[in-house]
Amino acid sequence: MFSTETLPKCTIIKIHDLLPKKINTREIKSTLKDGFLFIAGVNGKLLVHQNLGFEPNQIEKEHLKKYISTWGGGESVDILNGVLKMELPSFLMPFYNEIDSLPGCRIYPNLLRIGGDVYICIEYHGSVSKQISRIAMEFLAEDHLFRKELIYSGPQEEKLPYLLGLYRDSGNSLEDFIVIKTVWEFDPADLRNQNQGVFQNTGSYIPKCFVHDSTDRLIFRKNREQILGNAPYAVVDQSERIVEFEVVSKFYSDFYNEIISRYCGPIFMHMEVTPTKQFTYHIIEKKQEAAFIKGMAHHWKQNARSSHVNYIDVAESLPSLLGRL
């Protein structure tokens, strides 16, 4: 139920003091709690989303935009309904793009913020370990205003994404999170004509990234060697059946419009495909559960999914679920 099942290794890089620990202007005084930022691609830009937990007025918004930008947080794009959206800092873009261009790995869409420090997670399959090591070392060696540090590189825990473990070990509670498991039931015959037939392949998969456009890139750990469907793909590791597909689809575009833009919190997401069902595990912030479910309901009502059978199968706290694994 975790992305560790598809990409079992990770590298964690800490960027010191990238964001302010407090918002301290004449208009706003607030200590930011530890938490997660979420990355999604929108209109050719990578935007970092942060739920502020309050809705600033117009004067506060202008001061907040100016304040965040002085801390290297990129160009602030928008603040709406208590959500700050800003461009990924420019010094991170070459690093992000190089990881993004390499099949079999991804930068985790959730960034962990502890105080003013930001933790970036690269997830990858062991077959690309050498390339990841080179990219990470070059990034760490670059001179920049912000100090960077290699925190960990190696196997992930099977039962918990590394960043959630780091969040817990920093004195925070996993009770802050809830697991929502959804089910999509389908007729196998219909899959040939949907999403270029890619879901005829059973196994587990994760999105390479969340991008608001007409294509989705999916990293699969397949159950069988045969590759079904007509979507372009790259074989990452033949023996372990790791394949990265590029699918003509607006699923994650709709997902952004209906869910991410409403919820704007962390989403730890993993999918499992069987011959007749897809199970999706979403680990989300408990305090934003209502916004997430409202967005999910809108998502399922879209024309592309209006004839699908989708439903919530399980909802329970993360510690409760971990206790049964």
pLDDT per residue of the chain (325 residues) written in tens, 0 to 9: 788 889 999 999 999 988 766 666 555 556 667 889 889 888 778 888 887 777 778 877 777 777 666 555 555 567 877 788 888 888 888 999 999 999 999 999 999 999 889 999 999 999 999 999 999 999 999 987 889 999 999 999 878 899 999 999 999 999 999 999 999 998 888 888 888 999 999 999 999 988 877 888 999 999 999 999 999 999 999 999 999 999 988 787 888 878 887 787 899 999 999 999 999 999 999 988 998 998 888 888 877 776 678 899 999 999 999 988 7
Give the pair of three-digit tokens for residue 15: 């960027």
Domain ranges of the chain: 176-324
Give the pair of three-digit tokens for residue 98: 């190089």
Beta bridge partners of 111: 37
DSSP state of 32: P
Residue with token string 């060697």: 225
Contact 178, 316 (CB under 8 A): yes
Contact 248, 230 (CB under 8 A): no
Three-state DSSP state, 136 = helix
Region of residue 251 (phi > 0: left; psi between -120 and 50: alpha; otherwise: beta): alpha
